[in-house]
Structure 1
Amino acid sequence: MIPQTMRGVQLTAHGGPEVLIYNAQIPTPVPAPGAVLIKVGAAGVNNTDINTRVGWYSKGDNDADDASWAGQPLRFPRIQGIDACGQIVAVGTGVDPARIGERVLVEPCLYEHDGQTLETPWFFGSECDGAFAEYTTVAARHAHPVYSTLSDVELASFPCSYSTAENMLTRAKVSNRDRILITGASGGVGSAAIQLAVARGAEVIAITSPANAASLKALGADQVLRRDDDPVAVLGTNSVDVVVDLVAGPQWPRLLDILRPYGRYAVAGAVAGPIVALDVRTLYLKDLSFFGCTALDAEVFGNLVWLIEGGKIKPLVAATFDLRDIAKAQEVFKDKGYTGKIVLKVAKD
């Protein structure tokens, strides 16, 4: 029986951890036409949760009307959580009731909501409520069945980070002929990119802290650089085919220097700072291609589920917390002293 109320964490404003309110009396959502109701088993913690909370996406002040993935004002209270693994427990009109009981992963990038096709994609847990609650709804097309012996916690480590990484590799057309450099390689997206690039047969160079070097080599990285290394001094100019960047910041120009002519640069993060210096001559004289990667290409999430089911990539869960301990989980997440993902256990034992 589906209860009328549920436990969840509500974001009440932009700000610090104090704006995250645990509430055990949130009305349980009802699936709209074309949607499903999912009982959430586990939810991953991501940079985007914190960035959205503090208003980092705003190009003005952190309370501006563009402080979300889609550049629109958030509606409060908002249930965040872009990563979700759970079970379909009810369906809206137009959805086959046979889907009830399926274990699913939610595709983070949404092209449909409330029965309407979206002109600009939304993101689960940002423009609509997400996974930091016992129940959530999403368009049926974005609830992907997954057949795996992995636990809900392990599966919840995949959707956002791994689909972001797979999208970057897809856009940059990474193949077994490529030498690829990955910045921020010990985080969720970076460690996912290592596995996915190795699965494609690419040679992988990872940038991380010395403490995480061994774990990244165990994932398949062929070479590991320290964060304070000069990549040009270590690797040489024109030495890699692809840069997958999650960091940006002051060292950014050096990433273009190491790219070979016709090299590809893909970016989906800027944890070291979003404002960089670009010598446009480097861009055009080397015939470089730049890829900004946010919205997922159509085939990306389905390919990811296929890789999960085939055991070609593995979950990296660094720590697990109860839903009510989300503030502590985000504090640990920000410390970055681990490899992989922090996951919230949502379902009750």
Structure 2
Amino acid sequence: MKAIVLEAANKPLVYKEVEKPTLAPGEVLVHIKAAALNRRDYWITIGKYAGLKYPSILGSDGAGIVAEVGNEQDKEWLNQEVIINPSNNYGQSDDFQGADFKILGLPDDGTFAEYVKTRVEYLHHKPAHLTWEQAAAIPLAGLTAYRALFTKAKAKKGDTVLISGVGAGTGAFALQWAVAAGCKVFVTSGSGEKIDRARHLGAAAGVNYKAQDWADQLKLMAHGFDIIIDSALGSGFAKFPDLCNPGGRIVIFGATTGDIPHLDGRKFFWKQLQLLGTTMGTKDDFEAMLAFVNKHKIIPVVDEAFPLKDAQKAVDKMANSSQFGKIVLLNL
């Protein structure tokens, strides 16, 4: 089969022939129709991720058709259109991932290939209203944003929500989830164009975080936030406690611009704020997310689709952070 292979950090991805996976009982082989990039894939290509190994086939997100099953009892999945849950071995607790938790695409070979091997328990039926590329866009970023907003922050209709850095895949999903749930949503971005696109998706307003008074602008617009979703951290994070309403929840799942800066603890205890960390999500989170997608007929935002063989061009685009929504690889 053909696959995109990372042979070493900071080396171009290679489109080459590799051996097709063989199956053990309980495993299935999915013929990938579309796969999507995540920031995780970019960090791996430049050698800035834990547990690196070479060669590797990256890719956590994928949608396709089940081509083979390892057990006769799983044959009902044959020829089914599916998307794959990349959050594997989450563990016994719903509150945090266990020691055996792993994400598809490292250490196990991922979806940037004609075929990918996974366990039958990670298969889910593709939402019928979505194309292959739209379905492939959902798994990692959609799950992360869904858990952050609903499982952790307990978002409900009428809440005022701030999405920090809306252009990323997780940011775009958090916006779509919150709007569909009836929240009033505000966004930040370093791009006026991305703020305009967010407004077309239902955001009430947005501000450019490069402006010195971005936090003051948000305060005037929204008067305060019940929930803030952030994947950047960095110096701007220090403004969030002031922007929160009493009882507000700040949920984080990334640190692309640095660590948490010095914070005034008095604001946290006096306003009874919560700072919540999250990573990916459970099987129940994934199922609830897909039910939400089907109920509201949500269509994920796909920025651009590339042929599988052009995966390096897709990674280069992600490196520039020019996308709004997801970058997808097609194997149609």
TM-score (norm 1): 0.86
The alpha-carbon deviation at position 121 of structure 1 amounts to 1.3
Describe how 1:76-225 pairs up with structure 2 within 5 A: 76-93=54-71, 95-111=73-89, 119-170=99-150, 171-208=152-189, 209-225=191-207
| 1:241 counterpart = 2:232 | no
The alpha-carbon deviation at position 94 of structure 1 amounts to 6.1
Residues 33, 95 of structure 1: 8 Å contact kept: no
Structure 1 counterpart SS, 2:275: strand
| Residue matched to 1:62 | none
| 1:333 counterpart = 2:311 | no
| Residue matched to 2:266 | 281
Residues 87, 104 of structure 2: 8 Å contact kept: yes
The alpha-carbon deviation at position 225 of structure 1 amounts to 1.0
| Residue matched to 2:285 | 300
Residues 34, 95 of structure 1: 8 Å contact kept: no
Cα distance between partner residues in 1 of 2:48 and 2:245: 33
Cα distance between partner residues in 1 of 2:196 and 2:3: 37
The alpha-carbon deviation at position 275 of structure 1 amounts to 5.0
The alpha-carbon deviation at position 270 of structure 1 amounts to 2.2
The answer to which structure has the higher helix fraction is 2
Q: Which amino acid aligns with 1:10?
A: V
Structure 2 counterpart SS, 1:225: strand
Residues 186, 204 of structure 2: 8 Å contact kept: yes
Structure 1 counterpart SS, 2:101: strand
Structure 2: where are the runs of 5+ without partners?
Answer: 92-97
Q: Which amino acid aligns with 2:207?
A: L
Structure 2 counterpart SS, 1:338: coil
| Residue matched to 2:7 | 12
| 1:30 counterpart = 2:13 | no
Structure 1 counterpart SS, 2:83: strand
Instruction: String of CA shifts for 1:97-137, please: whole Å, max 9, x gaps.
Output: 11101111111211189xxxx74311010221110111111
| Residue matched to 1:51 | 43
Structure 1 counterpart SS, 2:82: strand
Residues 20, 327 of structure 1: 8 Å contact kept: yes
Q: Which amino acid aligns with 2:310?
A: D
| 1:253 counterpart = 2:253 | no
Single out whichever of 89-98 and 323-332 deviates more from structure 2: 89-98
The alpha-carbon deviation at position 311 of structure 1 amounts to 4.7
Residues 86, 104 of structure 2: 8 Å contact kept: yes
Residues 26, 71 of structure 2: 8 Å contact kept: yes
Note closer, same or farther for the CA distance 1:181–1:86 as it changes in structure 2 (3 Å cut).
same
Cα distance between partner residues in 2 of 1:120 and 1:263: 32
Q: Which amino acid aligns with 1:177?
A: G
TM-score (norm 2): 0.90
Identity %: 30
Instruction: String of CA shifts for 1:185-214, please: whole Å, max 9, x gaps.
Output: 022111111110011111100112212222
Residues 44, 83 of structure 1: 8 Å contact kept: yes
Instruction: String of CA shifts for 1:25-80, please: whole Å, max 9, x gaps.
Output: x11002221111100011001101011222334xxxxxxxxx1xxxxx23321111
